[in-house]
Amino acid sequence: MFDFPDIPKTEYKRTFLRSSIFNIEFDYVIEWENHIEEISKLFKENFFINNREETNFLSSRDKSKEINIEKHNKTIEFKSKDGLNVIAFENNVLAIVLHGKSYKSFNSFRTIFGEVEILLKNELSNYQIKRLSERKVNIIDFTLNDNNGAITLKQLLNSELVGSIDYIPNINYIKQSINSIVFEKDEASLNIKYGYNKINDSIGQIILDLTMFTGLNTISNKNLIDTFSDINTELYRAFNWAITDDYKEIMKSDE
């Protein structure tokens, strides 16, 4: 879609994925309490209801301003039995939040998306989906030695992204360097946030945060699973373009 190299998917020994967040955004607010019985039946095998509070789930977990939550409402949250994954219903958004430790591949979660698709067809057929999105947050923590933050950034991320750091007078003084590139094509958009963050004098982070949105026309031509699969594939291509061979070697190695 955005012309990133198409490469076969690889399952690495290690992953630095902190979370993968899938959002289904509807055209207006849904009173989720009216559908709680059907929702509970669908997800009872793998999820239990965790809360039904007056909290704003998405704003606490996804700072992206591009998610349009139309008004404050009650959040209904289901959590997996291992506590790693969450399905949340709030206002006009249904969110599936998968913890990085549980995420091996998109295909391993097809059952969840299949259950959501049943919910959409049987219980929410009167509601129009406005947009789908997926966000993947990857963070590598590393030990800082002799102000090696900028050096590690250049070692792990594509030089086409971070090459400008060479023009900074003294890279040893960098506390944080986070940049963003936004791609748009038809109804789809892709945002790549990347860079370096210094937690303290001992710990630094390399951040690669990717989000892709797709609109109504794209969704209407495919089912939910296939559309999210296409989004996930495009994010994988962008991720592989953004990282270096050194990053891949770390993921291939044992912890």
Domain boundaries, the chain: 17-137+189-252
Which residues partner with 19 through β-bridges? 99, 137
pLDDT score, position 104: 82
Q: Quick one: pLDDT at residue 56?
A: 46
The predicted pLDDT at position 125 comes to 83
Helix (H), strand (E), coil (C) string for the chain: CCCCCCCCCCCCCCCCEEEEEEEEEECCCCCHHHHHHHHHHHHCCCEEEEEEECCCHHHHHCCCCCCCCCCCCCEEEEEECCCCEEEEEECCEEEEEEECCCCCCHHHHHHHHHHHHHHHHHCCCCCCEEEEEEEEEEEEEEECCCCCHHHHHHHHECHHHHHHHHHCCCHHHCCEEEEEEEEEECCEEEEEEEEEEECCCCEEEEEEEEEEEEEHHHHHCCCHHHHHHHHHHHHHHHHHHHECHHHHHHHHCCC
Greater confidence (211 vs 165) lies with 211
**How many residues does the structure list for the chain?**
255
Which two tokens mark 15?
């992953």
How many other C-beta atoms lie within 10 A of the C-beta of residue 158?
16
Could you read off the pLDDT of 111-150 as tens digits, one per residue?
A: 899 999 999 888 888 888 889 999 999 999 999 887 678 8
Helix axes 224-242, 110-122, angle to 10 degrees: 140
Where does the pLDDT of residue 197 fall: very low under 50, low under 70, confident under 90, or very high at 90 and above?
Answer: very high
Residue-wise pLDDT for 205-214, tens only, equals 999 999 999 9
Query: In the chain, pLDDT over 70 holds for what percent of residues?
Result: 87
pLDDT higher for 241 or 43? 241
Mean pLDDT of 172-194: 91
User: Position of tokens 């019985």?
Assistant: 37
Strand pairing of 47-53 and 188-198?
A: unpaired
- Of 88, 82, 87, nearest in space to 102 by CA: 82
Of 40-44, 135-139, 224-228, give the range with the top mean pLDDT: 135-139
CB-based contacts of 252, cutoff 8 Å, min separation 6:
12, 13, 14
Q: Order of strands, edge to edge, in the sheet holding 17-26?
A: 47-53, 75-80, 85-90, 93-99, 17-26, 129-143, 203-215, 188-198, 176-185
Residue 26 is predicted with a pLDDT of 92
Asked if 113 and 225 touch (Cβ cutoff 8 Å), the reply is yes
pTM of the full structure: 0.87
Higher pLDDT, 146 or 56: 146
- Residue-wise pLDDT for 68-104, tens only, equals 433 445 789 999 988 899 999 999 999 999 998 888 8
pLDDT of residue 229: 92
- Range with the poorest average pLDDT among 34-38, 192-196, 241-245: 34-38
* Token representation of residue 57: 């789930």
